[in-house]
Amino acid sequence: MSSDIVIAILMTMAGAATPILLAALGELVVEKSGVLNLGVEGMMLVGAVITVAVTLTTGNHLLAVACAAAAAALAALIFGVLTLTLSANQVATGLALTILGTGFSALFGRPYTGKSVPTVGSPFPAELATDPVWRLLFGHSVFVYLALIMVVAVWWFLQRTRSGLILRAVGENDLSAHSMGYSVIGVRYAAVAFGGAMAGIAGACFPLALTPQWVERLTTGKGWIALALVVFAAWRPFRLAAGAYFFGLMMIFEVYAKSSSSFRVLPSEFWAALPYLATVVVLVLISLRREGSSSAPACLGKPFIAAG
Amino acid sequence: MDISLTPRLQLHGITKRFPGVLANDNVGFSVLPGEIHALLGENGAGKSTLVKMIYGIMQPDAGEIRWNGQPVVIHNPKAARKLGIGMVFQHFSLFEAMTVLENIALGMDAKIPARELEARIRQVMDQYGLHLDPHRTVSTLSVGERQRIEIVRALLLKPTLLIMDEPTSVLTPQEVEQLFVVLRQLAREGCSILYISHKLHEIKALCETATILRGGRLVDTCDPRVETSRSMAEKMIGGGLKDIKKPAGRTLGAERLVVNRLSLPGAGPFGIPLHDVTFTVRAGEIFGIAGVAGNGQNALLLALSGEELSRHPEAISIDGAPVGGLPAKQRRLKGLASVPEERNGHAAVPEFTLADNTVLTARDRLGMVSAGMIKSSSARTYAGEVITAFAVKALGPGSTAGSLSGGNLQKYIMGREILQKPSVLVVSQPTWGVDAGAAAAIHQAIIDLAAAGSAVVVISQDLDELLSLCDTLAVINGGRLSKPMQVEGADIEEIGLLMGGIHGEGAVHAV
C-alpha cells in the first residue's frame, strides 16, 4: 500500500470520527450528571440544518456553527424543562426530541435541499499541508482539532476541576449532593445545554466538512452511534476518542466498497454495516476485560425530586 | 459548668407540620458550649425532623432558633455550616465511586486546592486518631470507615456544634468506644455535641443531658447519668415497657436445620463470598447471627432461602433432607420460610395488594393456586388472618404493601411467614427501622414460633436484639461464621472482637 493511500485512509478516518466524537463528548457530560438524553440524533439534525441555512444566507461559517450550537442547545433545554423541571420520563422524552429534530430539520431544510454549501478547511496556512505527511497533521478541517481539544478539555473538567467534581457527584448520588447544598437541577440543566451545543456542533460538521449540502436525515444515525459509544467507552473521554476513531476507520470500507471491485465479494450493505458491528464488538471486548464495577453514573436516567 | 454561659443553641417553640402529621410540636431546649446533649426518642418521634431544621435542610413552620444568643434563620445547610454547625448523617451522604478526598472536597464550601485539603485532612486525622487513606475509593471501605469520612468532613470545618444522627447503629462495640473517645475530646475542646440515639446505655455512658421526644413533643429533659435505662425507655415510649416472655425451662428438640461447610462465591462485583459456614439449629432454638453490615449476611440469607444455590446439596439440610441444590420454591415446600432484610422490593412488592403479596410466598404451602389460577378468596382470607393475628394497621387485604408504614409492613411479612407454620424460619433484620411496639410484637412472635417447635435463624446487626432474643449466637465476619456460643454467659467483648474480624479464642486472649 502506498503512503498516499494510508494518508488518505487516516484523513477519512479523522473526518468520519469527528462528529460522532463531538456529540458523544457532549452526551458523556450529560450522562455524568445523571441525565440520559436520547435526543442526540435530533439535536444533531437541528444543528446541521441551521448550519446550512445560516451559511447559505450569510456565508459566515463561525456564525453558522454558533447558531447551530445555540439552536441545538435550545432543543436540549426543551428536553430539560420536560425531564428536569416536570420530571417526565427521560427515555420517552429523548426519543420524542429525536423525532422532533428529524421533522423540524426536514421541514426547515426543504428550501435548501440540494444547494451546495461552502465547506471549511484547515485552520492552518495551506503551505503547511502541501507535503502529504504534513497534511496528516495540518490538513484536517477545523472540527477535527476542536474535537480533540474537547476530549482533553472534558477529561480535565471532569477530573480536575471542582465544578466537574460537583457534576459527577450529582450524577452519582443526587440526594446527597442536594443535601450538601448543591443545585442538582441547575447542574443538570447546564450539562444538558452543553450536550445540546456539542450535538449542534457535531451536526454542523456534516454540511461544513463531510457532505457539503442539505439532504433529509443528513446525519444518518450517527447520533445513535455516539450514544452507544458513551456506554461502551465506560464514560471515559479518551476511550471515547479511541472508539470514535476506530469507528471512523471502519467507515472507510463503506467508502471503498463503492469504488473498488475487490470488495464485491460481499454485498455493499455488509460493508456499510461493518463499522457499526465492529465498533460494538471491539468496545464490548474492551469493557469485558475490565472486571468489576460498572462505571455507569449511579443516578443515570433517574428523575430527581427534592424531598422536604 | 458556668451558669452564665450563653447557650450555643436554643430552640423555642419549634413546630413542623407535614401533611397528616405534626412532626414537631412546640419543641424547645438548649445546648451549652462543650456539652454532649442527647436527643432521645423512638423512630418517628420527630428527632430527625428537628435536627434537619437545625441543619437548614427544612424550615420550621413556627418557633425560633437562637445561635449563641442571637435569633437566626438557617436557610440551607451551607448557612448552617457557616454558623459552625456540622452534621454526621445516619445514612451517609457519600459518593461510592469517588475517593475519600473527592468526597470530602464535595462537602467543603470553600474552594481549597486538593493538595492543601489533603494536608488538612491528614492533620485532622492525626489530631483525633481517625485513620483513613484519602485516595481510597469509598466503595472499598467498611461502614465504620465511611462514618470516619463523614466525621472528618464535619471536623474540617471546625464546628462548634456537631450533630450526630444515630452514629453507632452500624458500628462494632469497639468502634463505638473509639467514636466516644473522639466525641469526648471534641467536647473538652469546647464543641457542643447533639447526639441522637435510641440506645440508652450509650447515652448513659456519653451524655450529660438528654432531651426526650415522643410523638413530636418534648416529654422530658433529664440527666442520663442519674436516670436508669428503664426510666428513660419508659419516658421514650410513654408507658411501662412490656417484657418479652420467654417460656422457662424449654428443651430443644431434634436438629432441624443443618448447615455444613457452606461455601459460595460472592454474587456481583461487591458480593461477599461465604467460606465453610457451619451451624446447626434444633427444634425450638433461636439462633442469632451477629455481625457488622456487609460481612456476608446477605449472601447467607440468599443461600439459606434458596435464591443462591449451593453446588453441594448436603451443605444445607432441613429435617435431614439435603436441600442445598433446591431452589426457593422447593425449599418452601420442605418447610423453610425466609424474610429478607429489604421489606419493599424483596420481601414484598410495594405496588401489590397484601393479598397478592401473600400469594407470592404462600401459594404452594397453602394451596392458593389451582390449575394456574389464583384462588383470590383464599389469598384474601389468609391476608385477613395475618392482619388480625399480628395487629397490622392496614385498611384490609386490598391495601397495597407500599401504603403500610415500615413497622406494619414488617409485622405483616413476619405474620405471612409465621402463620404458614414453617419448620425453619430464616429472618434478616426483623426489626430494622421498626418502632419499639412493633419490634416487641415481632420478637414475641419469633419466640412463640420457636416454642412451637420451629428452628429460627435471626440475622441482625443489632447485638442487643440478638442477646435478648436468641439461645445461641455466632458472629459472621468476612463471610466466615464463628463458633456458636450460648447467649447466657456470652462475653460481649469477645463478640465485639469477633465482629471486628479477630477469630478464634487464642486471638481473643492475645489482644
Which residues of chain A lie closer than 8 angstroms to B89, CB-CB? 179
Residue of B nearest to A295 (CA): B97
For residue A289, give Cα distances in angstroms to A283, A284, A285, A294, B194: 10, 9, 6, 12, 49
Mean pLDDT, rounded, of chain B? 86
Which residues of chain A lie closer than 8 angstroms to B58, CB-CB? 308
User: Closest Cα partner for A226 from A274, A189, A188, A276?
Assistant: A276
Band (B92; pLDDT cuts 50, 70, 90): confident
B95/B104 Cα distance (integer angstroms): 10
- Whether B269 sits inside 8 A of A292 (CB atoms) is yes
Cβ contacts below 8 Å, chain A against chain B, sum to 51
Q: Which residues contact B221 (CB under 8 A, 6 or more apart)?
A: B29, B209, B210, B211, B212
Q: Which helix (H) or strand (E) holds A144?
A: helix A142-160
- Whether B96 sits inside 8 A of A166 (CB atoms) is no
pLDDT of residue A307: 55
A68/B115 Cα distance (integer angstroms): 41
- Whether B111 sits inside 8 A of A177 (CB atoms) is no
- Whether B105 sits inside 8 A of A165 (CB atoms) is yes
Which residues of chain A lie closer than 8 angstroms to B135, CB-CB? none
Band (A294; pLDDT cuts 50, 70, 90): low
B340/A292 Cα distance (integer angstroms): 25
Which residues of chain A lie closer than 8 angstroms to B111, CB-CB? 162
Which residues of chain B lie closer than 8 angstroms to A175, CB-CB? 93
User: Closest Cα partner for A204 from A298, A67, A78?
Assistant: A67
Residue of A nearest to B87 (CA): A180
Domains of chain B in start order, with CATH, are 9-237 (3.40.50.300), 255-345+423-510 (3.40.50.300)
pLDDT of residue B270: 60
B479/B426 Cα distance (integer angstroms): 17
Q: Which residues contact B85 (CB under 8 A, 6 or more apart)?
A: B54, B55, B74, B159, B160, B161, B162, B163
pLDDT higher than 80, residue A290: no
Q: How many residues would you count in chain B?
A: 511
pLDDT of residue A54: 96
Determine which of A33, A156, A166, A179 to mutate to test the interface with B (most B C-beta atoms within 10 Å): A179
- Whether B93 sits inside 8 A of A175 (CB atoms) is yes
- Whether A180 sits inside 8 A of B269 (CB atoms) is no
Q: Which residues contact B350 (CB under 8 A, 6 or more apart)?
A: B344, B400, B401, B402
- The percent of residues in chain A predicted with pLDDT above 90, rounded, is 59
A183 contact B CB<8A: no
- CB B108 within 8 Å of CB B157: yes
Band (A17; pLDDT cuts 50, 70, 90): very high
- Whether B57 sits inside 8 A of A180 (CB atoms) is no
Q: How many residues would you count in chain A?
A: 308
Q: Which residues contact B463 (CB under 8 A, 6 or more apart)?
A: B173, B290, B492, B495, B499
- CB B146 within 8 Å of CB B94: yes
Q: Measure CB to CB from residue A308 to each of B58, B97, B270 and give the nearest one.
A: B58
B357/B379 Cα distance (integer angstroms): 9
pLDDT of residue B173: 77
B297/B195 Cα distance (integer angstroms): 28
Q: In B283-335, at which residue ranges do the beta strands (DSSP E only) sit?
A: 286-290, 316-318, 321-322
Domains of chain A in start order, with CATH, are 3-289 (1.10.3470)
Q: Measure CB to CB from residue B77 to each of A169, A173, A180 and give the nearest one.
A: A180
Query: Residue B471 is which amino acid?
Result: D
B459/B426 Cα distance (integer angstroms): 8
The pLDDT of B406-435, averaged and rounded, is: 88
Q: Which helix (H) or strand (E) holds B24?
A: strand B21-27
Chain B residues with CB under 8 Å of a chain A CB are 52, 57-58, 76-78, 89, 93-98, 102, 105-107, 109, 111, 139, 269-270
Determine which of B16, B82, B95 to mutate to test the interface with A (most A C-beta atoms within 10 Å): B95
Question: How do residues A129-157 score in pLDDT, each as one tens digit?
Answer: 778 778 888 889 999 999 999 999 999 99
* Residues β-bridged to residue A65: none
Of A61-75, B10-24, B239-253, B412-426, the poorest mean pLDDT is in B239-253
The pLDDT of B391-413, averaged and rounded, is: 86
ipTM rounded to 2 decimals = 0.76
Find the DSSP H helices in B287-347.
297-305, 328-333
Grid cell for residue B384: 385477613
Q: Which helix (H) or strand (E) holds B221?
A: strand B217-222
pLDDT of residue B505: 40
- CB B30 within 8 Å of CB B7: yes
pLDDT higher than 70, residue B62: yes
